[in-house]
Amino acid sequence: MKSVNLGILGLGTVGCGTVNVLHRNATEIARRAGRGINVTRAAVRTLEAPRRCSVDDIELTTDPLEVVNADDVDVVVELIGGYDLARDVVLTAIDNGKHVVTANKALIALHGNEIFARAHEKGVMVAFEAAVAGGIPIIKAIREGLAGNRIEWLAGIINGTGNYILTEMGEEGREFDDVLAEAQELGYAEADPTFDIEGIDAAHKLTIMASIAFGIPLQFDKTFTEGISRVSREDVAYADELGYKVKHLGIARRVGEGIELRVHPTLIPRHRLVANVDGVTNAVVVQGDAVGPTLYYGAGAGADPTASAVVADLVDTVRMMTADPSNQVPHLAFQPDALEDLPILDMKEVETAYYLRLLADDRPGVLAEITRILAEQEISIEALVQKRVEGELVPIILVTHKVQESRMNAAQEQLQSLVAVAGEIVRIRLETLD
Ligand code: HSE
């Protein structure tokens, strides 16, 4: 059967990784897909640049539209990233009747609803495995492997840079800025590293996973996002003493008739497998009603791991090219007319446990004042430690049981206004993940 021709947009880390994997594993890939897959065209920023792959048989251009409009291109692989240009070229490719494979999480999280509707109309595939957790086949696992389940919740370490920073702070006692600079040098971080640190990259990925887990439209704008820039080495150490690790988690949970969608630093019990996922590695726990908890672990970024996901999508796409489009796996796992309009809960309504650290005067009655405020908001304390330090102010560390966030907000406001409390109270959410 005739080989399939690819047009790749972007020959950076992932683009060249894809060219190399397609070349290195060409025979295996053709045995799986039933046809050969050749990269015939590519759009690049500069024609004469050093590259990490051979471009000998590839026609290069600096104009992505030239690739998506070429009649001899069957599938477009979008690896340029960003929102605007990527959206335009992907929609043009779809309008031209071409299938699309993308690693662009921002594009899918923000414009996925529009893109999938257009692709459905035109009967083409838009595959995006590489957009979430790099090489881990988490999209396929949730969308197909767990299709018999009602998904209850999922929680993931889905940003390698953030996890690397927290790991180094916890294990090596290094400072935040120092580790971030290293992550940038090693090429893990996004072009704008605030996307990693402030949780935007993780929120893009969580939005996508939640959509295919619960059958809801993509709703990035409703995802609560809190970054890790305020997590201190001190809190990582106190959490450790109490038996917890601090991880930057993306959590999506079905509660009653709503969905929690949140990215924030989280204390998790040290004995959970996911608490021991360190460095740039990613991991996602998915809880289905039939299967129970399942864990997916692996490289969340990098040339070959991300190419692994892109090529898997290509194999799927090539297999589907001769099939009836109505037999395609739906983009968001559920049939487009079966998506539900479940509300995304406001953070005030979310129930979780908390770690609090207060700096307070060391005198009689201060602890009583603190516990009275918590008791008035019906917040139950699970653990309380007062550290012995030199001076008049002492750190008090508290771990609470689960409580609605609105109650914790009210308590925190009152605690902060106590004369005996100095500085800003540190608050980190805590999940037991059971
Ligand atoms: N900046 C991302 C990360 C790359 O650190 O995980 C993969 O999406």
Dump pLDDT digits (tens) for 376-394. 999 999 999 998 888 889 9
Please provide the DSSP assignment of 270-335 as one string.
TTSGGGG--TTEEEEEEEETTTEEEEEEEE-SSHHHHHHHHHHHHHHHHHHTTS-GGGSPPTTSS-
pLDDT above 70 covers what percent of the chain?
100
Residue 89 has pLDDT above 80, yes or no: yes
The Å distance, Cα 368 to ligand 1 centre, comes to 45
pLDDT of res. 1: 83
- Tell which atom from ligand 1 comes closest to the C-alpha of 202: 6
CB–CB of 287/151 below 8 Å?
yes
What are the chain's domains?
4-135+303-338 (3.40.50.720), 151-299 (3.30.360.10), 347-430 (3.30.70.260)
User: Is the shortest distance between the CB of 301 and ligand 1 below 6 Å?
Assistant: yes
pLDDT of res. 389: 81
- Tell which atom from ligand 1 comes closest to the C-alpha of 189: 1
The Å distance, Cα 188 to ligand 1 centre, comes to 6
Residue 284 has pLDDT above 90, yes or no: yes
pLDDT band of residue 169 (cuts 50, 70, 90) is confident
Average pLDDT over residues 398-416: 98
Average pLDDT over residues 26-30: 98
The Å distance, Cα 180 to ligand 1 centre, comes to 13
The Å distance, Cα 285 to ligand 1 centre, comes to 18
Average pLDDT over residues 118-127: 97
Q: What is the C-alpha separation between 18 and 34, in angstroms, rounded?
A: 19
For the question of whether the overall pTM of this predicted structure is more than 0.85, the answer is yes
Give the rounded distance of the alpha carbon of 182 from its chain centre. Answer: 21
pLDDT of res. 391: 81
Residue 399 has pLDDT above 90, yes or no: yes
- Beta bridge partners of residue 249, listed in sequence order: 264
Residue 143 has pLDDT above 80, yes or no: yes
pLDDT of res. 255: 96
Average pLDDT over residues 154-169: 94
User: Is the shortest distance between the CB of 161 and ligand 1 below 6 Å?
Assistant: yes
Average pLDDT over residues 165-189: 85
Average pLDDT over residues 41-64: 96
pLDDT of res. 433: 96
User: Is the shortest distance between the CB of 188 and ligand 1 below 6 Å?
Assistant: yes
- Is 205 a catalytic site residue? yes
Residue nearest to atom 7 of ligand 1 (CA): 301
pLDDT of res. 221: 98
- Tell which atom from ligand 1 comes closest to the C-alpha of 301: 7
Average pLDDT over residues 409-418: 98
The Å distance, Cα 406 to ligand 1 centre, comes to 32
pLDDT band of residue 149 (cuts 50, 70, 90) is very high
User: Is the shortest distance between the CB of 156 and ligand 1 below 6 Å?
Assistant: no
Q: Which residue did the predictor score with more confidence, 191 or 73?
A: 73
pLDDT in tens, 183-216: 888 777 887 889 999 999 999 999 999 999 999 9
- Residue with structure tokens 């009747």? 97
The Å distance, Cα 300 to ligand 1 centre, comes to 7
Average pLDDT in the chain: 95
User: Is the shortest distance between the CB of 250 and ligand 1 below 6 Å?
Assistant: no
pLDDT of res. 191: 78
Q: What are phi and psi of 191, to 5 degrees?
A: -50, -45
Which of these is catalytic: 205, 245, 247, 387? 205
pLDDT of res. 181: 87
User: Is the shortest distance between the CB of 302 and ligand 1 below 6 Å?
Assistant: no
Give the rounded distance of the alpha carbon of 341 from its chain centre. Answer: 22
User: Is the shortest distance between the CB of 134 and ligand 1 below 6 Å?
Assistant: yes
pLDDT of res. 35: 96
CB count, 10 Å around CB of 152? 17
- Tell which atom from ligand 1 comes closest to the C-alpha of 164: 5
pLDDT of res. 329: 94
pLDDT band of residue 323 (cuts 50, 70, 90) is confident
User: Is the shortest distance between the CB of 313 and ligand 1 below 6 Å?
Assistant: no
Q: What is the C-alpha separation between 298 and 277, in angstroms, rounded?
A: 9
User: Is the shortest distance between the CB of 201 and ligand 1 below 6 Å?
Assistant: yes
Q: How far apart are the first and last CA of the chain?
A: 50
- Tell which atom from ligand 1 comes closest to the C-alpha of 159: 6
The Å distance, Cα 428 to ligand 1 centre, comes to 23
DSSP reduced 3-state for 204? helix
pLDDT of res. 173: 84
Average pLDDT over residues 131-146: 98
Residue nearest to atom 4 of ligand 1 (CA): 301
User: Is the shortest distance between the CB of 189 and ligand 1 below 6 Å?
Assistant: yes
- Tell which atom from ligand 1 comes closest to the C-alpha of 158: 6
pLDDT of res. 187: 72
